Amino acid sequence: MPQQIWLMKSEPNEVSIDDVLAMPNQTVAWTGVRNYQARNFMMREMKLNDIVLFYHSSCPQPGIVGLAKVVSAAYPDETQFDPTSKYFDIKATAEKPRWFHVDVQITQKTRWIGLNELRNEPLLSGMRLLAKGNRLSITPVSVDEWRVIKHLLNKS
């Protein structure tokens, strides 16, 4: 199966690209996802070395800030079992975990491509990130959208 491309949102006040760059192997466990569709992307569709667009969200300047890759298969998110975590899930058990995640490794910090720049690119008009009402923290990116984003990344 060919490599897939994903856009993964992270709130920089929780985990920013700079935080991940300072972590061992520049790798982060993508914990805290509590949407079944986003979880299913990680569990069923993400593969090792899939490309990730690292996106800062819920901040004054949302946008793509880097590139990464998937470096693990999906495995249970430990935060679901921790009663002190805001991601605790009382219905989750070690025998029947409800939430899974992958590990993501930064491959490159890029120039910031803000939401307005993405919206102003006609070739990205169908991008799921830009769809009205889209709140998913993980979305697939088409090969054509990836080509446009690579072009944008190479602009000064």
Q: What is the pLDDT of residue 155?
A: 84
Tokens of 118: 């993405």
pLDDT band at 103; cut points 50, 70, 90:
very high
pLDDT digits over 18-60, tens only?
999 999 999 999 999 999 999 999 999 999 999 999 999 999 9
Rounded distance between C-alpha atoms, residue 156 and residue 147, angstroms = 17
Average pLDDT value for residue range 138-151: 97
Q: What is the pLDDT of residue 123?
A: 97
pLDDT at 134: 87
Asked whether the predicted pLDDT for residue 17 surpasses 90, the reply is yes
Q: Which are the contacts of 63, defined by CB distance < 8 A and separation ≥ 6?
A: 55, 56, 112, 113, 114, 115, 117, 118
Structure tokens of 47? 């593969």
For 5-153, CATH gives 3.10.590.10
pLDDT value for 31: 96
Mean pLDDT of the chain: 96
Instruction: Read off the pTM.
Output: 0.95
- Residue for token pair 């070395």: 49
- Least Cα distance to 7 among 148, 141, 143, 149 occurs for 141
**CA distance linking residue 13 with residue 11, whole number of Å:** 5
